[in-house]
Structure formats: structure tokens, C-alpha cells
């Protein structure tokens, strides 16, 4: 399958623990995005990479959140000292750089539950 | 930033019925997309439609960029059409496609 893949699909953790999510974009896509979705809401933008460069971070991304894309391929999103408010679906998307246009493709998401 | 308003927020249909979902934007957008979120949470691409009209089977979409709205038509609805439908777009002057999503339309199709 050549779609966007995310791992793990589900994560249950205790408050205060660290968690890491991984995203493998579509292979030829050089743009990668992270979104967060809480129950009953639409996805909210967290951060964006063009190749390995992180070009924008939302104010939603507190200091406890860090995202990397070390070689311009897969990306990781780490949450340190998790809080119950971090419980959400974390979605990754990728697209191909084509000027200001381009269609985003999403993975299946990683659902985080913080107890 | 741009505001994305979707209507109706909830919709209940009998199988076989037709429906129209609407998406309004507060500013000019490009890269407009429609998604269907399945029960497992994955966003399935329905249409990439910055302008004009596209059709795919029982679904079609129309975007009138100059008037800042898009419509998604579902004909002869089926129970498998149930789920949440999102529209999303980016600012026309934006440097890249950071999609801003609406709150979605929750569709339930009953047999």
C-alpha cells in the first residue's frame, strides 16, 4: 500500500508519561502535516514540514510537543508529560509540492487516550 | 484566519434520498477539498475541487470560488454514506496548503 501510514493506531497512557507517534508519508510527497482532532470537531493544524524543515508550528503545539522529520521522509510527533487534555486523534497528512496547489492525503490516525 | 462554516451540522436521511451539503468560507480559498471520515477516523478524499464541478459516481461537488462556497451532492444515499463530511480550504494568498477545516456535517442514512 502506498498511502500514508501511522503507528501506533491506538495508545493508552497514564498522565505524565511520554508518547511518540510515527508517520510515513506517501513516498514521493515532500510536504508533511500533523493535525489534531478532538471529539465532535474538525481537524486542527499542528505543524508542517517541507522536506526536513519544519516551517510552521501552531500555537496549539505547546512546549511539551515536538515534531521531527530528520531525513525528509518519515516524521515523529512526541508528547512529553502527557495531560488528559492531550487525548485526541493525531492525524498525519502528506502532499506533493506543486507551488501553492496540491491535494492532501491523510493517514488513519493515531488515537491517544490519557488516563 | 479564515472561517469555514458547514451546514447542516446534522442530517438524517432515508436510504435512497438525495442531499446537499454546503460549505461557506469567510475569505477566498484555494485547494478546497471534501473528505468523508469513516467510523475508524480516517479521512477519505472525496474531491479536490478549487473551482468548477466534478462528479464521482453518486457524489458530485461544485465550488464557486468567487462567491466563497462549495456544495457536495449525494444522490441515492446508502447506509455506507453515513459518517462525517468535512470541507477544508487554504487561504488564496497562503504560501502552502495548510488546510482549515469546518466542523463537519454528521450524516446518518437509515435503511
Give the pLDDT of residue B99: 86
Provide, as residue numbers in chain B, all residues whose Cβ is less than 8 Å from the Cβ of A93.
Answer: 43, 99
% chain B with pLDDT above 70: 94
Percent of chain B whose predicted confidence (pLDDT) is above 90: 73
d(CA B1, CA B27) in angstroms, rounded, equals 9
Q: Which residues of B touch A37 (CB under 8 A)?
A: 41
Question: Would the pLDDT of A100 be above 80?
Answer: no
pLDDT in tens, B54-82: 999 999 999 998 999 999 999 999 999 99
Instruction: Work out the number of other CB atoms within 10 angstroms of the CB of residue A112.
Output: 20
Q: How far is CA A72 from CA A7, B72, B97, B105, in A?
A: 18, 35, 18, 35
Q: Are A78 and A88 in contact (CB under 8 A)?
A: no
Contact B97 A108 (CB under 8 A): no
Distance from CA of A65 to the nearest CA of B (A): 19
pLDDT at B28: 80
The model's confidence at residue A60, banded by pLDDT at 50, 70 and 90, is confident
Find residue B96's DSSP bridge partners. none
Does position A106 have pLDDT exceeding 60, yes or no?
yes
Higher pLDDT, A88 or A40: A88
Mutate which of B56, B84, B99, B105 to disrupt the A interface (most A C-beta within 10 Å)? B99
Q: What is the pLDDT of residue A46?
A: 94
Which pLDDT value is given to residue B41?
Answer: 87
**Strand B10-14 and strand B105-110: pairing?**
parallel
The distance of Cα B79 from the centroid of its chain, to the nearest Å, equals 18
Confidence check: pLDDT of B18 > 80: yes
B110 touching A (Cβ < 8 Å): no
* Closest among A15, A48, A38 to A109, alpha carbons compared: A38
Chain A residues in contact with B35 (beta carbon < 8 A)? 106
**Nearest C-alpha neighbor of B36 from the set B77, B67, B64, B95:** B77
pLDDT at B92: 57
Q: Which residue of B has its CA nearest to A57?
A: B98
Whether cis (ω within 30° of 0) applies to the bond prior to A49 is no
Backbone angles phi, psi at A41, to 5 degrees: -120, 165
What is the average pLDDT across B33-61? 93
Amino acid at each position: 500500500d502506498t498511502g500514508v501510514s501511522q503507528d501506533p493506531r491506538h495508545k493508552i497512557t497514564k498522565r505524565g508519561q511520554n508518547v511518540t507517534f510515527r508517520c510515513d508519508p506517501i513516498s514521493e510527497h515532500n510536504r508533511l502535516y500533523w493535525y489534531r482532532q478532538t471529539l465532535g470537531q474538525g481537524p486542527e493544524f499542528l505543524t508542517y514540514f517541507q522536506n526536513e524543515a519544519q516551517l510552521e508550528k501552531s500555537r496549539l503545539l505547546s512546549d511539551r510537543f515536538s515534531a521531527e522529520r530528520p531525513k525528509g521522509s518519515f516524521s515523529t510527533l512526541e508528547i512529553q508529560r502527557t495531560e488528559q487534555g492531550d487525548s485526541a486523534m493525531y492525524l498525519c497528512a502528506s502532499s506533493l509540492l506543486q507551488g501553492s496547489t496540491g491535494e492532501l492525503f491523510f493517514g488513519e490516525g493515531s488515537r491517544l487516550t490519557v488516563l | 484566519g479564515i472561517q469555514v462554516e458547514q451546514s447542516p451540522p446534522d442530517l438524517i436521511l432515508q436510504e435512497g434520498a438525495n442531499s446537499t451539503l454546503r460549505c461557506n468560507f469567510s475569505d477566498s480559498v484555494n485547494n478546497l477539498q471534501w473528505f468523508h471520515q469513516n467510523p475508524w477516523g480516517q479521512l477519505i478524499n472525496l474531491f479536490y475541487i478549487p473551482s468548477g464541478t466534478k462528479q464521482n459516481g453518486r457524489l458530485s461537488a461544485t465550488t464557486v470560488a468567487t462567491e466563497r462556497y462549495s456544495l457536495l451532492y449525494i444522490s441515492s444515499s446508502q447506509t455506507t454514506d453515513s459518517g462525517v463530511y468535512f470541507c477544508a480550504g487554504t487561504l488564496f494568498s497562503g504560501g502552502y496548503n495548510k488546510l482549515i477545516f469546518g466542523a463537519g456535517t454528521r450524516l446518518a442514512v437509515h435503511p
